[in-house]
Chain A
Amino acid sequence: MTTLAGARTTDDRNLIARLWDNQEARSVIIQIITLAVVLALAVLVLRNIAINLEAIGKEFNFNFLGAPAAYDISFSPFIEYTSRHTHLRAAVVGILNTLLVAVCGVLLASVMGFIMGIMRLSSNWLISRIVYVFIDFVRNIPVLLHILLVHGIIVTTLPPPRQAIDIGADFFVTNRGFFVPAPVFQDGAGVVGIVFIIAIIAAIVFRRWAKQVQDTTGKIYPVFSICTAIIVGAPLLAFVVMGAPLSWDIPQLKGFNFQGGLALKPEFLALWLALSYYTSCFIAEIVRAGILAVSHGQTEASYAVGLRPNRTLQLVIVPQALRVIIPPLTSQYLNITKNSSLAIAIGYMDVVATIGGISLMQTGKEMETMIIVMGVYLVISLTVSAFMNWFNRKMKLKER
């Protein structure tokens, strides 16, 4: 080739070599290359999908959501659903079922986790050892096996409906679920509900006011007891005044099954209990770490300034422990939500089983249904994350 071209190559090489020697420029180059490769792959995969869908003649659209689903969902506690409703409604039923088990799971796992975390720190050797063994046994076995185990226990050890265990007060235990009387609201129940909401607002207002008084005068009101009294007492009073506008729908054995009442199905129970106790073991360790992270000197210092033990716990220990607990707790809450997708293994009709399972099969819309399911989990997880981040900011050490 000509000398000119040769010279240019040397020049270019020099430029690249010089850029390569510069650390900042080098990292930018590497990042650009990486980004380009990732984007190229994304384009390739999308193109591939488009070509393959084209090859078998499939269209990408969400029109199927409006068509009748044609299948039944036996567990829909919040909205009415029959096989004549649409795929969209089936998806909503699934989403609500996912949310139900996630919310119930978070609540139970938190309570169990905090109790076990504190028991783990107990000075009683037996209690702390038992909890220790339980935690290490449970958290080292995959959660799917726990779900199958609990479901298996409920289904195989409990009696069928005709030999139901009657534990009194119209509560029945069977291998088709636990049946309890369902509350039926009569005329006037709305008033009780309104009073309840007003009571909550009143309690919040009172709490603000009490804090203001404390800040200006130092006088401390028993805020917790008074708030509880308002929130429980006012609706109770309204309930009595309105003439007890509530009756009970009692479960009764008719034909094959119990009819009426509220039913806790084995599928829901198994998923809820297994997810809760599995996750609670991780939460217990997080709580233990949080409490141990606050040095004992803090307790002694607050005693020294004259705080009583319960005020010490409330004002000094817990706020500092929470700062350590909240971030890892967030991941556990997210884990419960995501692990609830294992519901399909025992036939709990969550979002994966309805729109991501039966609808997918009956319509053949794999891409579309999976995008919906992934979107649902993403939205739920991001919402939980956002809430926990807000809570974390609120609890974090305020540096003034």
Chain B
Amino acid sequence: MKLKTTVTLCAVAFALAIANAAQAGTLEDVKKRGVLNCVVSTGIPGFAFPDKDGNWKGFDIDFCRATAAAVLGDPKKIKAVTATGKTRFTKLNSGEGDVLWRNTTLTFSRDVGVKLRFHGVNYYDGQGFMVPKKLGVKSAKDLGGASICIQTGTTTELNLADFFHSNGMKYEAVTIETNDEARQNYLAGRCDVYTTDASGLAATRSTFTDPENHVILPEIISKEPLGPATRHGDDQWSDIVTWVLNAIITAEELGITQANVRKMRRTSKNPEIMRMLGKEGNQGAELGLDKKWAYNIIRAVGNYGEIFERNIGKDTPIGLERGLNALWTNGGLQYSPPFR
């Protein structure tokens, strides 16, 4: 009996050890599996959250769907691997996820120390503070002595420590594991302040029953370039993720939309559009993808502007302005290298 248990355990452990062995060749793995595993957050309205039918929706999810459309030709073939701030890199590095689309800040230590590959920026953000209006706080410089709710394992934790240290103020850090729990603690009054990226604050505020009673302070205390990441050691897969993001931004610049992409592919005489949409050249094959990879992306989720407005733009409950995320031609920072 004892022996039998031992043998069973050994078999299971063996299977696990073997399963994790292969890592390079992510593209082949994904194609074989037929499903793309995206590491996403455990739930931030507008960015990544399951709707009432359990379908994942949001800004980051659309980028995940775009990747699936490029690789597998079908935006529905995704699996959301949810991860907290703490577990996200482990889930990516252990091979549980193929790519990370989870409002993750690109930093030196993550790029170099955690050994990730970052592939550009899909949202330019910065850390802000939200307080209840009734406290009468006007500036982040007035927050000395306050209790502040933060999510653990994030860059915000470090920015906060630096901000208060350099301003010579004290505070009580209430460190919470997920956005949801942090929100509950803030609403219950455990903290005076909730801090995270400004986009996350707007998203969280949109879920309150009384959003008008909470203000986001004017100070932005950090740079938070959020973008996708993959593991080290698979250059082909890294290239694919990089150019999926670039294709989405370039599509907006070139005026390709979900509605007109079919017509554009048929009739456009612009060489860059023809190259990108697979009418000319063999960029798709060079990436190891179908020649209509970029066409599939735009058909599935649209260009950058469309993804933005649909999930987090002015007409959504989140209500974010394009701001820094406008195209470079409109005074923003979204700028893609050319498809040449």
Contacts and interface: CB of A to CB of B under 8 A. Distances in A.
Given A37-B10, A41-B14, A364-B113, A70 B192 contact: no
B158 interface: yes
Contact of B162 (A45, A70, A349): A70
Interface string B94-124: 0000000000000001100111000000000
Interface string A173-203: 0011000000000000000000000000000
Contacts of B115: 56-58, 364
Contacts of B154: 361
B102 to A, nearest CB: 13
A83 B165 contact: yes
Interface of B: 3, 6, 10, 13-14, 17, 20-21, 23-24, 85-86, 89-90, 93, 109-110, 113-115, 135, 143-147, 152-154, 157-158, 160-162, 164-165, 171-177, 185, 188-190, 192, 231-233
Contact of A155 (B86, B175, B189, B232): B189
A127 to B, nearest CB: 36
Given A48-B17, A357-B153, A364 B89 contact: yes
* Interface of B: prevailing SS: mixed
Nearest to B187: A156
Contact of B161 (A30, A44, A52, A71): A71
A366 interface: yes
28 contacts: A41-B13, A41-B14, A41-B17, A44-B17, A45-B13, A56-B231, A56-B233, A57-B115, A70-B158, A70-B162, A72-B160, A72-B164, A74-B173, A82-B165, A155-B185, A156-B188, A175-B190, A176-B147, A255-B146, A256-B145, A256-B147, A259-B145, A266-B190, A344-B152, A357-B86, A357-B153, A358-B153, A363-B113
Interface string A25-66: 000001000100110010011001001100111100000000
Given A156-B188, A357-B152, A38 B161 contact: no
Interface in A153-169: 155-156, 160
Chain A, interface size category, equals: 35 or more
B109 A363 contact: yes
Contacts of A347: 152, 174-177, 185
B152 A353 contact: yes
B24 to A, nearest CB: 7
Interface in A237-283: 254-257, 259, 266-267
Nearest to A267: B174
Contacts, number: 131
A92 interface: no
Given A57-B233, A155-B189, A175-B188, A361 B153 contact: yes
Interface string A60-92: 000000000011111000000011100000000
Contact of A257 (B23, B86, B146): B146
A345 interface: yes
Contacts of A267: 174
B114 A83 contact: no
Contact of B23 (A30, A45, A55, A353): A55
A84 B166 CA distance: 11
A176 B190 contact: yes
Contacts of B164: 72
A72 B110 CA distance: 19
Contacts of A366: 90, 93
A111 interface: no
B296 to A, nearest CB: 30
Contacts of B172: 74, 176, 257
Q: Which 9 A-B pairs have the closest CB atoms?
A: A364-B114, A361-B153, A83-B161, A56-B232, A255-B145, A256-B146, A74-B173, A74-B172, A155-B188
B146 A52 contact: no
Nearest to B155: A362
A118 interface: no
B100 to A, nearest CB: 13
A360 interface: yes
Interface in A314-365: 344-345, 347, 349, 353, 357-358, 360-364
Nearest to B154: A361
A158 B13 CA distance: 48
Nearest to A363: B113
A41 B12 CA distance: 11
